[in-house]
Amino acid sequence: MTRAPVEGTVRSADGTTIAYERSGSGPTVVMVDAAGGFREMGPMRPLAALLADEFTVVCYDRRGRGGSSDTAPYHVDREVDDLRALVAEVGAPACLFGFSSGAVLALVAAARGLPVERLALLEPPLDLSSTPTGEPGLAAEIAGLVAAGRRGDAVAHFQASIGVPAELTEGMRESPWWPALERLAHTLVYDLTIVDALPADELAQVTVPTLVVDSEQSDARLREWAAGVAAALPHSHRRSMRGDWHQVPEADLAPALADFFAGRANVAGSAEPTASGQVTADARR
């Protein structure tokens, strides 16, 4: 019988309250959400339920979302402090799983000294070329729409700008979760800040084993970014899995994460070294 998650809060260095829930037992895995995600909405709770038989899995609301408070002005280092407080509370060192901009936040935290054993990253939107990942001016445009009370337009503009297929956005608008997305529209600026917060040369400081996952059905840009991150990290593997745009089904992703976090395998499926010495594997499920 699966126990219900145990809820708690921690106080970050600037006084912000960070709400979290913990389930399962074993080595600690902290789940770092993407833009618009929090415990009540997104893939983290279903993934946590699948991992809890083997790990202590921690899902938390990033600042400004769900049960967590917020403190102005925003700075990426404050989100790193949130993770630092959380890991100190639930047990260090921890493994981190980050999705999208949450994957970049996990990388930033590891590069800046968070006690991390292993990292798993699902499609980090990190362009290591000379061009910043974020669209110039997008953060200011989102902030302007939020200030004008047009939170729904801010969410839709963000999604269109980052390449979310129009049919997915229309489906979200019709879903009961759209009001929740509108409420946290201001935090989209945080995620746009995060994706430009990690210089390419800082990646070399992330020396822990890292698994970089991408979906075969994502667009070429997202997959190229994942490949670039995997190639830039000293101890990383890339794994391409069947999925949808910017997502992999939890039932397929959870076993891959469990094997990686437990050290049973870096990748699954047939693997071969790339020219950079990294390993890439295609998981055909």
Q: What is the mean pLDDT of each run of 10 residues along the chain (285 residues)?
A: 84 98 97 95 94 97 97 97 97 94 97 96 88 72 97 94 85 88 96 90 91 95 94 94 91 96 65 36 34
What residues does each domain of the chain span? 6-127+199-283, 134-194
Residue of 217, 203, 220, 215 lying closest to 278 (CA atoms): 203
DSSP state of 195: T
pLDDT for residue 177: 85
d(CA 58, CA 181): 22
- What tokens appear for 27 in the block? 């080595």
Pair 116, 28: CB distance under 8 Å: no
d(CA 229, CA 220): 14
Name residue 242's amino acid: R
pLDDT for residue 4: 85
Pair 8, 68: CB distance under 8 Å: no
Q: How many residues does the chain have?
A: 285
pLDDT for residue 117: 97
At a CB cut-off of 8 Å and minimum separation 6, what does 28 contact? 55, 56, 58, 87, 90, 91, 92, 93, 94, 95
Pair 123, 226: CB distance under 8 Å: yes
Q: Which helix (H) or strand (E) holds 140?
A: helix 138-147
pTM of the model: 0.90
pLDDT for residue 275: 33
The strands making up 94-99's β-sheet, listed across from edge to edge, are 6-11, 17-23, 56-60, 28-32, 94-99, 116-122, 210-215, 236-241, 279-283, 271-273
3-state secondary structure of 209: coil
The CATH superfamily of 6-127+199-283 is Alpha/Beta hydrolase fold, catalytic domain (3.40.50.1820)
